[in-house]
Amino acid sequence: MKLFDVYPLYDITPVSAKGVILKDDKGQEFLDLYGGHAVISIGHGHPHYIKRLKDQLDRIGFYSNAVQNPLQQELVQKLGSLSGCDDYQLFLCNSGAEANENALKLASFHTGKSRVIAFHNSFHGRTSAAVATTDNPAINAPINKQQKVTFLSFEDTLGLKQELEKDDVCAVILEAIQGVGGLDEPTTKFYHEVAELCKEHQVVLIADEVQSGFGRSGKFFAFQHHDIEPDIISIAKGMGNGFPVGGILIHPKIKASYGLLGTTFGGNHLACAATLAVLEVLEQEDLISNAGELGFYFKEMAMQIPQVKRVKGKGLMLGLEFDFEVAPLRKNLIYKQRIFTGGAKDKKVLRILPALNINKAHINNFFHALKQELP
């Protein structure tokens, strides 16, 4: 058998990692400013995380959702208090795509409608039923074949109003900071108008916080920079620091009933232990504040570099925009400077998504290396 070859790979084989440093099979060290697509939130191999997972594995790793799992209760308490969303309900699943699938399913059940409004350059995950709607099948793919998706531009309030007046829309889904797309954000004014229009037309507002959530933006959720109350919030990535886990937070106005949603693995004991460990470390080490403060420091440093046209994003969800495509620069940063960064759909944006416990020295190292590789 061979692997289904869908990923272009860098010729690097990491074998161990601690904090923000990765080591490969040749003993070379790399500074990880990408965290495997914003997944590594508390750093690789955090001792508290490892202990929590090992202790849990020694006891029980998995049993079904047909029996009591006290870890799920512990998790709702902790997540509710740290996120400030303690009146929401939590449904646990296993990935970002699955979280959004469930969010849209629930929006459709709740409204009896099925069309979805999303925004250009958004990314909400790949599902088995995804089909291409634009030049890039992997990016603007409908969440579900039955679920027609209409893409609008940020700030197009009139367009949104016209679509919602057709009375067939179940949900508006948006990222408060676009991840894969390239760090574009709606303004607070537009986000408020979206929320208002959704309320008026009884459409479910879904905040996709899969990439921006769990403290990455300097607040627990990126929508909290805009003082908005979404109906559903989807989460994954940094939630498990590498353990596959996802979920949706559901506003109390949407009521649960037996069998409405379900999953075999969602909320398993190990996933809960991983998520609890992440939340405990975020709290104990005050990492959300660190993300905010270091985000400002990063921006200050970036603005001193003439080739940087714009610094995008918030906290440690950042993008550097250049006036050239960044793929060769990324390659040089990896192979010559041994620093992992990310690309975006916008090919001129270099994405920076480090663990939330990096420090100023790591950022200084990055800028020192970047200057050497810039034209």
Site membership for ligand PLP, residue 37 (CB under 6 A): yes
**What SS3 state is found at 132?**
coil
Strand partners, 17: 22
Query: Shortest Cβ distance from residue 359 to ligand PLP (Å)?
Result: 26
Find the shortest distance in angstroms from Cβ 55 to ligand PLP: 26
**Interface with ligand PLP by CB under 6 A: which range of 153-161, 205-213, 214-222, 286-294?**
205-213
* Number of neighbours of residue 128 by Cβ within 10 angstroms: 8
> Considering only residues 289-318, where is the footprint of ligand PLP by CB under 6 A?
none
- Torsion angle, CA of 172/178/180/183, rounded to 10 degrees? 160
Map residues 90-119 to x or -, x wherever contact with ligand PLP holds by CB under 6 A.
-----xxx--x-------------------
Instruction: Determine which helix (DSSP H) or strand (DSSP E) holds 207, and give its type and residue range.
Output: strand 204-208
Can you tell me the distance from the alpha carbon of 209 to that of 249, in angstroms, rounded to the nearest whole number?
A: 10
Pick one of 75, 117, 180, 250: the residue that binds ligand PLP (CB under 6 A).
180
| Contact between 208 and ligand PLP per CB under 6 A | yes
- Which H or E run contains 349? strand 349-352
Q: Nearest approach, Cβ of 173 to ligand PLP (angstroms)?
A: 9
CB of 99 to ligand PLP, least distance (A): 7
Nearer to ligand PLP, 56 or 121 (CB): 121
Which of residues 19, 35, 43, 125 is near ligand PLP by CB under 6 A?
A: 125
* 123 near ligand PLP, rule: CB under 6 A: yes
User: Interface with ligand PLP includes 210 (CB under 6 A)?
Assistant: yes
326 scored as a contact of ligand PLP (CB under 6 A): no
Interface with ligand PLP, residue 211, by CB under 6 A: yes
Give the residues across from 314 on adjacent strands: 317
CA 214 vs CA 100, 124, 143: distances in Å: 16, 17, 23
204 burial type by CB count under 10 A (0-12 exposed, 13-18 middle, 19+ buried): buried
Q: Could you give the CA distance from residue 233 to residue 102 in angstroms, rounded to a whole number?
A: 11
Q: How far is the CB of 211 from ligand PLP (least distance, A)?
A: 4
Dihedral of CA atoms 69, 73, 74, 75 in degrees, nearest 10, equals: 100
Nearest residue to ligand PLP by CB is 96
Residues of this chain that bind ligand PLP (CB under 6 A): 37, 95-97, 100, 123-125, 175, 179-180, 208, 210-211, 236
